[in-house]
Chains A and B, each alone.
Chain A
Amino acid sequence: MGKLALGCVAILVLVAVIAGISFAGTYNKLVTLGVDVDKQWSEVENQYQRRADLVPNLVATVQGAANFEKETLTAVTEARASVGRATITPGKAPADAESLARYQQAQDQLGSALQRLLVVSERYPELKANQNFRDLQAQLEGTENRITVARGRFNDSAQSYNTVLKKFPTNLMAGLLGFKEKPFFKATAPSADQAPKVQFDFSGAAPTAAPAK
């Protein structure tokens, strides 16, 4: 009789210990993956910042070109400013899909304004011949590419985290421990996850460079 009770207690203790280890394991795993998501996020922020930092230089260079389209320049400057306002807690991945979407929208706006700037600049031969402008263009291209890479890696890490989170039995414990699903970047523009590609086709368009006087 006593032996049976002792056996039951032993089994209960064993189950409790196993459950405890499992609980700790789950917790640690989610923390590790969450840290990785934050790390990848800061790389995303980093690269977007790098792009934003290029803007003043680019605008200054382009302004030097005679009669550069005011509209295009204003759009870039405004988009740059709104990106500055759309920051989330730095170094920490956004907690909800909504704030990520807001961030993404601001950044995409700057992206398309810059793309437009590059397209328009094709009409200004003096700009195309300007070494400074070409260097900035190369940097911008490189940065867009880095952004694509950083975003892709962030999405991968967020998805690994989410996959673990949603699996049994982690899903049962995750709620208790206060872990939530991480949002990730959605493909927006027509060109899915790619850096904007500039198409140079102005065969029909008449050059609108500095008016001859």
Chain B
Amino acid sequence: MAGRGARRVALLAVAGLVIVSALFADRYDEQLPEKPKRYVTDRAGVFGPGQAEALNAQLEQCERDTSNQILVWADKKVPEGFTPEDFTVRAAQKWGVGQKQGDNGAVLFVFTEDRKVRIEVGYGLEGALPDITAKRIISDEIVPRFRDVDFPGGIAAGAGAMMAAIKGEYKGSGRTVDEGRRRKGDQFGTCLTMAIFFGIFFVLPMIFRRNRFRSHGGRGWWTGGGGFGGYSGGGFGGGGASGSW
């Protein structure tokens, strides 16, 4: 029958659209690294024993005090197929560093073999950490130390200066996003969120299968586990500064 044939075509179109749009949205995203589990990620092996943990603890305390999330990402090279600035803004945006309402995240990226450093600043911190300040932090705090091959010192000084610059811009809640979520009953909350998502994204379209939908990539949800995982979707628009040494 014509009706059934048309329905089949429409169903196929829905399936095709979902697949194609998923592919389309993830063209770059899938090449980006997963969200870091900690504030400090050292893929370049620049930190000595205990140094990364110390900085990690400082950054965690910073989020408790100010609600600003500052991350450090050290790697040897910028991933293939990206320019440094392209990679850093996409990664920071994908991870969703910072609170969603405040967009108050910032990431210090260091690529040791490419000799590139970049401070990526979320929308909400562009006032407290404008490009000029970011540039000065890079040229005055970070680059001189990197020239002396003191990577841990340069990174710590840079992160310290970033924390100092943005102190007081946002009021902290006394705990990190991660801790806040855990406190609210982690299992039940997660299950409920998943159930709601399932309802919205799978059940409703099955009922109204005529309404094509497309997933909006990027904003993942927290899935539990220990340590740092409390991203809540801060936005980035390319603010910050870059430098090399």
Which of B13, B136, B242 is close to A167, meaning CB atoms less than 8 Å apart? Answer: B13
Please measure, in the bound complex, the distance between the C-alpha atom of A138 and the C-alpha atom of B238, giving whole angstroms.
13
* A22: B residues at CB distance < 8 A: 10, 210
Q: Does B131 contact A (CB under 8 A)?
A: yes
Bitwise, A1-24 to B at CB < 8 A (1) or not (0) is 000000000010011001001100
Bitwise, A132-161 to B at CB < 8 A (1) or not (0) is 001100110111011011101000000110
CB distance from A119 to the nearest CB of B (A): 18
B132 near A149 (CB under 8 angstroms)? no
Segment 1-56 of A: residues with Cβ below 8 Å from B: 11, 14-15, 18, 21-22, 25-26, 29, 43
Given A21-B211, A135-B132, verify A160-B24 contact (CB < 8 Å): yes
Query: Which are the 5 A-B pairs with shortest beta-carbon distances?
Result: A142-B131, A149-B238, A138-B135, A146-B238, A25-B211
Please measure, in the bound complex, the distance between the C-alpha atom of A21 and the C-alpha atom of B86, giving whole angstroms.
41
A binding-site residues for B, Cβ under 8 Å: 11, 14-15, 18, 21-22, 25-26, 29, 43, 134-135, 138-139, 141-143, 145-146, 148-150, 152, 159-160, 163-164, 167-169, 194-195
Q: Which residue of B lies closest to A153 (CB)?
A: B237
CB distance from B186 to the nearest CB of A (A): 34
Segment 1-49 of B: residues with Cβ below 8 Å from A: 3, 7, 9-10, 13, 16-17, 20-21, 24-25
CB distance from B6 to the nearest CB of A (A): 8
B212 near A139 (CB under 8 angstroms)? no
Q: Does B188 contact A (CB under 8 A)?
A: no
A146 near B210 (CB under 8 angstroms)? no
A167 near B237 (CB under 8 angstroms)? no
